[in-house]
A and B are shown apart, each in its own frame.
Chain A
Amino acid sequence: GESVGLHLPTLSVQEGDNSIINCAYSNSASDYFIWYKQESGKGPQFIIDIRSNMDKRQGQRVTVLLNKTVKHLSLQIAATQPGDSAVYFCAEVYTGRRALTFGSGTRLQVQP
């Protein structure tokens, strides 16, 4: 079946360092992979997406890498700031569907 999972439940980094959050997926028939950020008490917030036919996509301070050979997705955050502290979810959109399938999340803690 479909599954999206994350390697590490908690990631702690120093302010100013780069962060890398990883995600493994099992479904090869996905159109998109998406990263969401969820702060306490709020709904998930879209960060960046990547089509399944791409390897890399960059946004503002974020880069998503997709390795379809090993079914691995990563989110890189440059110069991590305290405001980046949150839970990060990867999600996929399965071909022919609209719904998001989320993983269980990684908590990013930014130490001052």
Chain B
Amino acid sequence: DTGVSQDPRHKITKRGQNVTFRCDPISEHNRLYWYRQTLGQGPEFLTYFQNEAQLEKSRLLSDRFSAERPKGSFSTLEIQRTEQGDSAMYLCAGDRGSTEAFFGQGTRLTVV
């Protein structure tokens, strides 16, 4: 257990619906990352926060995606108007300024 928790673990939604995922990092993690992972592939970077500031966003993060980290603690990732191509595992990770990122177990999204 890395101490990073994600909720929900699984989400099935109909195409066109909005979904929101939550990540609770370890309290000492001033940096928080979101990644997306499809079957058989390595995680792909989506976005990164330092405290409450969103410092970098990937080109993968279309305008249907939005992430927040109010107060620099937990973070949410929202996907609006979901598409089948959004089906993936969404991983959250945190670190304390070192290279050792602690990943949560992910939220598996299935868009039907």
A interface residues (Cβ-Cβ under 8 A, vs B):
4, 32, 34, 41-46, 49, 89, 91, 93, 97-105
Taking residues whose C-beta sits less than 8 angstroms from the other chain, chain B's interface range is: 20 to 34
Please name all residues of chain A whose beta carbon is closer than 8 Å to the beta carbon of B105 when the two chains form the complex: 41-43
Beyond A91-B42, A97-B56, A104-B42, 11 extra complex contacts between A and B, CB < 8 Å:
A4-B42, A34-B99, A41-B105, A44-B43, A98-B31, A98-B48, A100-B33, A100-B35, A100-B43, A102-B42, A104-B41
The reply on B85 being an interface residue by CB < 8 A is no
List the B side residues contacting A46 at CB < 8 Å. 99-102
Q: Which residues of A contact B106 (CB under 8 A)?
A: 42-43
A99 interface neighbour in B33, B40, B100, B102, Cβ under 8 Å: B33
User: In the complex, A98→B31 CA distance in Å?
Assistant: 9
Whether A45 pairs with B2 at a CB distance below 8 angstroms is: yes
Contacts of B48 in A (CB 8 A): 98-99
